[in-house]
Amino acid sequence: MTFEDALVELEAIVRRLEEGTAKLDEAIAAYERGAALKRHCERKLEEAKARVDKIIAGPDGQVSSEPAKLD
């Protein structure tokens, strides 16, 4: 799942929870899904940051466009 897709789904969950109309079990399930999506988005952002960091400061200190290996 892309960062953008996860963010759209997470925003929809937040809106539903803020409405306060969901039954308790539905709200808990939505909260759990939202927490998983948040972790996914954070992981994607960390991966992107690592790639940008690699571009900004290559191993020799020069600007590099080589993507970071995140394995």
Which pLDDT belongs to residue 5? 97
Does residue 64 lie within any of the structural domains? Answer: no
On whether the CB atoms of residues 3 and 45 are closer than 8 A, the answer is: yes
Is the pTM value of this prediction over 0.75? Answer: no
CA distance 44 to 24: 30
Which pLDDT belongs to residue 49? 87
Does residue 61 lie within any of the structural domains? Answer: no
Which pLDDT belongs to residue 34? 98
Does residue 63 lie within any of the structural domains? Answer: no
Number of structural domains found in the chain:
1
Place of tokens 């039954």: 23
| Mean pLDDT in consecutive groups of 10 residues from the start of the chain, 71 residues | 97 96 96 98 93 71 61 55
Does residue 67 lie within any of the structural domains? Answer: no
The encoded tokens of residue 16 equal: 């539903």
Does residue 51 lie within any of the structural domains? Answer: yes
CA distance 68 to 50: 6
Which pLDDT belongs to residue 57? 63
CA distance 48 to 10: 19
Does residue 36 lie within any of the structural domains? Answer: yes
Does residue 69 lie within any of the structural domains? Answer: no
Domain containing 41 equals 3-56
